Amino acid sequence: MTSSLAFCVLVLSATTLALDNGLMRMPPMGWLAWERFRCDIDCKNDSKNCISENLFKDMADRLSEDGWRELGYIYVNIDDCWSSMQRDSQGRLQADPDRFPGGIQNLARYMHDRGLKLGIYGDLGTHTCGGYPGTTLDKIETDAKTFAEWGVDMLKLDGCYSNATEQEKGYPLMSQALNATGRPIGYSCSWPAYQGGLPPSINYTVLGQICNLWRNYGDIQDSWDSVLNIVDWFMTNQDVLQPAAGPGRWNDPDMLIIGNFGLSVDQSRSQMALWAIMAAPLFMSTDLRTLSSEARAILQNKAVISINQDPLGIQGRRLLKEKSGIEVFWRPLLQSASALVFFSRRTDMPYRYTTTLASLNYTAGTYKVYDVFSGQVMKNLSDTTAFTVSINPSGVVMWYISPSENETDTFLQSDFHCTLSSVISPYLIHPR
């Protein structure tokens, strides 16, 4: 299959119906508490790291002051363990009064004042996964209204302590209830992850009309094995998952764990590159207050972010899985451009991989190539010219490629801020 034919196939597959709330036309970006901070509620002995309004304000300050917001990282998302163990006298959810003394509405205002958005967590069951009050079917409308009144901008609805019948009813009902509030609230569903993530249990055409993004698979852990497990599942099932994604409806392989304890620098680049190829939401779950310079450089790489945020919103695919342990991934982008990732599963030493663009289904012609991590540029690479990339163990080489005759392509210019601004600026309007 030629790259142009493959591109047409992917475009056609990305035109199925999506949730009509106008939100998340590109993969959402931000920060999410769970993987790094879990359900730490011991504010007496661990005040800096416990799930409290202070933690979320700290992360909001970092996003707004350290250059993250301008790159598109605009969501600050609360996960489990934020609420009181009881609903209030009117049956509404309420924040833990000791850890969130100002309440969620004031926390949302804190985010909005800084040009950020607030996400919150709920669970379609009797209890959340952490044992806090859940959103049973009879509470869906009440909780949707409560979130809207608080000024929440995104809801992740988990599925612990619910069954398949309740999920089949509840996830669409919450979508309707959120839209009925009149407030734009992005909607993340965990429905597929609880039903195996694949047809016939999951109808992705229907799901795309209900949710803006969805968790297909299990939770990520702070380890390279966990990242590989997720990548393997997504690529094994790419023929089903790839067509489901598109503007306003995204497969979510879970959080970025870059900057924590389980990944090397090369492995961190690999996660960032592969998540960009998959058009995945980019939710960091790390301590932004103590982030290393290496992790920051990866997470703030403007070229990788631009690829992730490409307006076409077409999820990429794995093209090749070589016996040598090298895998090649491809994603079509705006203006006839594309991204390639050469990924090594080897553990011994850097591997020199030789191929041609023609071998990777590129059409005849010459191309401009930008290496997004090294910054190196090749201006006239023919489709038939052999090239060699050296890939570190568990590492990647990631290329942005555009036809040489594409004079309108601004991506290869030295400053990616213009490209990012044109893509992201419509989404930086201060929410109210």
Q: Which residues are catalytically annotated?
A: 158, 219
Query: Token match 């390279």: residue?
Result: 224
Count helices and strands in the chain by DSSP H and E runs: 15, 16
The pLDDT of residue 20: 78
- pLDDT of 15 over the 90 cut: no
> Distances from the Cα of 1 to the Cαs of 5, 218, 312, 358, 387, in angstroms?
6, 33, 20, 11, 21
- pLDDT of 418 over the 60 cut: no
- pLDDT of 423 over the 70 cut: no
Q: Which residues pair with 411 in a beta bridge?
A: none
Q: Is the bond leading into 200 cis (omega within 30 degrees of zero)? A: yes
Give the separation between CA 218 and CA 199, rounded to whole angstroms: 17
Reference 338, options 247, 417, 399; nearest CA is: 399
The pLDDT of residue 410: 60
Specify the pTM: 0.93
The pLDDT of residue 80: 98
Give the separation between CA 40 and CA 57, rounded to whole angstroms: 16
Q: Give the burial string for 161-198 (b: 16+ CB within 10 Å, else e).
A: bbeeebbeebbbbbbebbbebebbbbbbbbbbbbbebe
pLDDT tens for 194-249 read: 999 999 999 999 999 999 999 999 999 999 999 999 999 999 999 999 999 999 99
The average pLDDT across 134-149 equals 98
**What's the residue count for the chain?**
432
Compute the mean pLDDT over every residue in the chain, rounded to the nearest whole number.
93
